[in-house]
Amino acid sequence: MFTALLWIPATIAAAAAQTLRNAMQRSLTDVLGTVGATQVRFLYGFPFALIFLALVTTVTGEAVPLPGGRFLAFVTGGAVAQIVATALMLAAMRREGFAVTIAYTKSEPVQVALFGLIVLGDRLTLLGAAAVIVATLGVILMSVKPGSRLTSLARGGPALAGIASGACFALAAIGFRGAILALPEGSFLVRATTTLAFGLGIQTLVLVLYLALFDKAALVGSFRAWRPSLFAGFMGALASQFWFIGFSLTSAANVRTLALVEVFFAQIAARRLFAQTASRREIAGMVLVCAGVAMLFVAQ
């Protein structure tokens, strides 16, 4: 019974750790640029993932599961989707408030439902359709600036970047859960940690090669800013460890729905770290997004 419910505290812990990591990455964006700050969570998180894997296998006495082609396909897809998602999120944060950008990405579960309808032909129930409408209205409400004739959605601004980030995070969640389930053996903890190590390894390789070829200044800068980057990497690896534990125990939809608590953690971080405050309109939009995703969860 305890194991069956372990995904709940794991998800809450992941949301809290991810909020701290996002805040640190947001601070590094001005120094390293969007791609440079994106690779920090992977480059500095990978060693911690290896440490986690060593600790888990030592404590449990289990061997690292042997990955197959299906596992590698899922984990690579999830890794690439998460890179794109993180870059889009940080790009949106440079032009929009920290907490509001996080709220944009929380449309992720709604987008999973839409992808299912378009790609797989999965029909939405009446409550599910209402959930999509409510959450979409919430995003639009956050996007409208009083006195402006065009919304940030219409301009293709930070709102679109945040929503696209949520879509990529949704694809990443599906990829990582698929990878965990594709491993042939091991406890939920070993399979989750193995997937984390492979995922961060792939992400580190991809981004280091990219920066070495196209943005050496950002790569060198990330090594120079090793102290704040090390903290961001640790918090990123810790958050992912908890996310993957959740994915190994229940559906990605359950985990990502409960992950909405991150919106409120982000509000606290925005106030304390960036002196940003959300307007009543933005708060109302966040509430609608949360209500829409919660309705979608009930519909499922």
Which pair of structure tokens corresponds to residue 120? 């797989």
Mean pLDDT check: name the lowest of 76-80, 144-148, 217-221, 229-233.
144-148
DSSP for 186-249, written as a single string: --HHHHHHHHHHHHHHHHHHHHHHHHHHH-HHHHHHHHHTHHHHHHHHHHHHHHHHHHHHHHHH
Report the pLDDT value the prediction gives residue 270, as an integer from 0 to 100.
60
Domain residue spans of the chain: 2-299
Best mean pLDDT range from 99-113, 156-170, 210-224: 210-224
For helices 261-273 and 98-105, give the axis angle rounded to 10 degrees. Answer: 160
Report the pLDDT value the prediction gives residue 267, as an integer from 0 to 100.
63
Residue 20 or residue 177, greater confidence: 177
The Cα 297–Cα 134 span in angstroms is 13
Confidence of residue 103 (pLDDT cuts 50, 70, 90): low
Best mean pLDDT range from 81-95, 194-208, 219-233: 194-208
Report the pLDDT value the prediction gives residue 118, as an integer from 0 to 100.
66
The Cα 218–Cα 7 span in angstroms is 37
| Percent above pLDDT 90 for the chain | 26
Mean pLDDT of 124-141: 71
Q: Chain-wide mean pLDDT for the chain?
A: 78
CA dihedral 256, 50, 248, 38 (to 10 degrees): 20
Q: Is the pLDDT of residue 225 over 60?
A: yes
Report the pLDDT value the prediction gives residue 68, as an integer from 0 to 100.
93
